[in-house]
Amino acid sequence: MRYFPLFADLAEADVLVVGGGEAAARKVRLLCKTSARITVVAETVTEELRGLAERGAIALLPRAFLARDLHGQRLVYAATGDGVCDGAVSRAAKARGIPVNVIDAPALSTFITPAIVDRDPVTVAIGTEGAAPVLARQIKALLETLLPANLGVLASRARDLRDGVARAVVDPRRRRRFWERLLRGPFRRAVLSGAQNEAGRILAAELEDEHRLTHATPTGRVTLIGCGPGDPDLLTLRAVQRLQEADVLVVDRLVDAKILEYARRDAERVFVGKTPRGPATSQAEINRLIVREAQAGKAVARLKGGDPLIFGRAAEEMSACQAADIPVEVVPGVTAAQACAARVGLPLTLRERIRQFAVVTGASAEGEPDFEWPALLAKDAAFAIYMGIGNAPLLRRQLLSAGADAATPVVIVENGTREGERTIATTLADLTDAVAQHAVVSPAVIFVGLDWAEAGLCRPAFVIVHRRARRPAIERPLERRAANTEALT
């Protein structure tokens, strides 16, 4: 992030615009929405700017820019379109420590003006750091359709209620939850529809309920959130909502840092990652942590990679919450097998060919998995192995011993949906060699029995194909001598 977003208070502030053309007029139109004192310096101006000056909305200095024009200014815009003049304004403003924006010249500017969605007093600013203004306008157009035209009425009503609500709901955490209920539920709908009396009745009922709850034993809640394999775009809408509501985030190692951007900045973050064969927070300690925080009345979000109910030890955490009478909710996520298969275009089932698909874990509490290996090898079945990279030699050996064909197709997806994603196509015979040769590390999913050709699809060009070179058979000396003798007779 090069440009730090903020909102400048321009109430009764002096702002200078240098230039009198259409570019300058666009900035003046925007500034006129504030109560700033606007001065325009230009030898010639548009009819629009001249009209604003005649009505007293702006002050107009019909001459060339002078450095003394900068005295007392809060912000400066240079919009002459003349590189020499705009450069002079930029240098003079920077020398005086005054923020300056030169239209279409980020290198000369110390601030930029974002695209704005105006629902006064709600303002949404969209910036691309000058990289793609058209994209910013497209995002603005989308938001214009999503936000009610009278959303500002709701914000104004909330502003009028702030002091009264602060006196009635003293605890900051409870007050935040009160506002979340108020601005998301029936009160919001009543205000936006213009039913002010109904909104007042709802407000009174909410305050009465809050007063009753304030004197009750504080109760929090726990939400187990599936964060998918990594890509934040795969989060569900409910996952984003629960992240926004959480007071405490209890975060697994495989949860991508970008996902935490969806949470409140003031939420407490506790990292409880389990490193394979390395440091780890015990499951018992995690259970105690989420129960303790919820008993303190906090909303706890337990963030897990993939889906909480698939190899996520969700049962243990849910059991701990239920034993402590703490409400617990599970928000499902996209599990790794689905996400990785989708990324590489690999169907998990095929009509008349693959009728069952399983997910198994390649590691156990004892370190080595122990399956009914023949059951995995049914002729109409395929499966995905999670956490199997460390035990790849064992998995290969056990599957071959159980009767698997050495030519069974295997697809390894490493860091699926994340930066550094790789896909390797190989066979069961070459699985161990592929993992070693390509230095595959976790997280990775190993698909067994799936192949693009079998589905009538082309293998993606980015897939690495690994086949171990086979050495030609070497005859033993005695056999070679016998063969030569036979050839001579």
Residue range 6-52, pLDDT digits in tens: 999 999 999 999 999 999 999 999 999 999 999 999 999 999 999 99
Domain 223-334 fold: Cobalt-precorrin-4 Transmethylase; domain 1 (3.40.1010)
Residue of higher predicted confidence among 427 and 484: 427
The answer to whether 223-334 and 341-465 have equal CATH topology is no
How many other CB atoms sit within 10 Å of the CB of residue 149? 9
Residue range 408-432, pLDDT digits in tens: 999 999 999 998 999 999 999 999 9
DSSP one-letter string for 120-148 = TTEEEEE--TTS-HHHHHHHHHHHHHHS-
Residue range 370-386, pLDDT digits in tens: 788 888 898 899 999 99
Distance between CA atoms of residues 405 and 147, nearest Å = 58
pLDDT > 70? residue 472: no
Residue extents of the structural domains in the chain: 14-113, 151-214, 223-334, 341-465
pLDDT recorded at residue 417: 94
Beta bridge partners of 410: 426, 448
Q: State what percent of residues in the chain have pLDDT above 90.
A: 78
pLDDT > 70? residue 112: yes
Assign domain 341-465 to its CATH architecture: 2-Layer Sandwich (3.30)
Distance between CA atoms of residues 214 and 203, nearest Å = 16
Q: Which residues are catalytic?
A: 252, 274
**Token pair in block for residue 59:** 């002050």
Query: How many residues would you count in the chain?
Result: 489
pLDDT > 80? residue 184: yes
Beta bridge partners of 222: 300, 328
Q: Does 3.60.70.12 match the CATH number of domain 14-113?
A: no
Beta bridge partners of 59: 39
Distance between CA atoms of residues 94 and 329, nearest Å = 54
On average, the pLDDT of the chain sits at: 90
pLDDT recorded at residue 489: 35
Backbone angles phi, psi at 77, to 5 degrees: -115, 130
Whether residue 192 contacts residue 148, with contact meaning beta carbons closer than 8 Å, is answered with: yes
Distance between CA atoms of residues 376 and 425, nearest Å = 20
Residue range 331-345, pLDDT digits in tens: 999 999 999 999 999
Q: Is 443 exposed, middle or buried (0-12, 13-18, 19+ CB in 10 A)?
A: buried
Query: Which residue in this structure is represented by tokens 């109904």?
Result: 198
pLDDT recorded at residue 347: 96
Average pLDDT of 149-164? Answer: 95
**Distance, CA of 217 to chain centre:** 35
